[in-house]
Amino acid sequence: MNTVLAPIKMLPAYRFGQATPWGSDALKHLFGRNLPDKRTGESLEVSALYGLSSRDEEGYTLPELIKKHGENLVGRFVNKAFPLLLKLVSARELLSVQVHPDDTYAQEHENKLGKTEAWIILDCDEGAELVFGVKEGTNKTELKEASLQGSAVESLLERVQVKPGDVFLINAGTLHAIGSGVVLYEIQQSSDITYRFYDWERVDKDGNKRPLHLKKALDVVDVEAKPEALPKKSITLARTLLVKSPYFVTESLYDCSKEPLPSFAGSFGMLTALSAAALCYDNKTMELVKGQTVFLPSKGYPLKVTGKKLLLSYPPLQS
């Protein structure tokens, strides 16, 4: 049945506590979230990951919603793995230095999708940094030798200072780490594959270090990957392109009340309100609180949105 669907408010799944020892409670202060732990590192806003799926307000998980609504919800992805994962990430401490494989390596070794991702800095401490790639001239042999010596690898890591609004594309194969005091929006391929390369010699309360995945990390690392903040490009007065990759597109929106959002026929969209906002469709209005994420179905109503600060992500639209 070809049914037109309304936008769906999503409730996130959280990763917290021992799963994210580096996490913080910043999402409580920024968005008024009722967090499960003061070390809540990830809010999975739109997720179909097993055990970490986001839900609608009636409690249906995203995979259940896809099964229920099919092509009307996700278009051409109805009989495929759900392709994207949208998170808010909050770091009190440095995350481990890690790297993700591309699709070819991931499918061969993990039977999963690879992971390219993008970060949009929402909030950060003064002087906050990311680790992004390795210093120019470093080769893989030098990187391997340093990694076997533990902290020796720190001198080879490239760091970049960040500020709110900065945008970074982290292609598969790029060594990276989120710095302390950073809150960011992360759009990525729907994959949970992470190869931990270095963890700053941290130990838990029992003196144990978290395991590393050096062999696979060194297999997939690209020492030529360099940090680069992406330039923003105006699409219209109300829409600005932030990221365009083979896997996802992300725009920032500023009061689109006078123009409809793009059609997601054959695909879907994910809208996150970073300020109070409202979605208008079918003579109805859906009020959005700051921090709310909404799923925009493939077979949906024409939409207009009011609000001064929103982010919209979707798979690249087919021509």
**The model's pTM:** 0.95
Structural domain total, the chain: 2
> What span, in angstroms and rounded, lies between the C-alpha atoms of 259 and 245?
25
Q: Which domain holds residue 44?
A: 8-220
Say whether 210 is catalytic: no
Choose, from 39, 76, 159, 196, the residue flagged as catalytic: 196
Distance from C-alpha of 291 to C-alpha of 31, rounded to nearest angstrom: 5
Give the CA distances from residue 47 to residues 51, 87, 129, in Å, rounded to whole numbers and listed in that order.
10, 8, 27
Quote the tokens at residue 221: 């690392």
Q: Which of 64, 216, 222 is nearest to 133 (CA)?
A: 222
Q: What distance lies between CA 301 and its chain's CA centroid?
A: 26
Q: Are residues 215 and 244 in the same domain?
A: no
The tens digit of pLDDT for each residue in 170-228 reads 999 999 999 999 999 999 999 999 999 999 998 888 888 889 999 999 999 999 987 67
Q: Which of 223, 279, 205 minimizes the C-alpha distance to 99?
A: 223
- Same domain? For 122 and 59 the reply is yes
Does residue 238 fall inside a structural domain?
Answer: yes
| 209 and 279 belong to one structural domain | no
Residue 319: what pLDDT?
55
Residues 231-255: pLDDT tens digits? Answer: 888 888 789 999 999 999 999 998 8
- Residue 288 — very low, low, confident or very high, per pLDDT cuts 50/70/90? very high
* Same-domain status, 94 and 128: yes
- Do 96 and 146 sit in the same domain of this protein? yes
Instruction: With beta carbons less than 8 A apart as the criterion, state whether 138 and 223 touch.
Output: yes
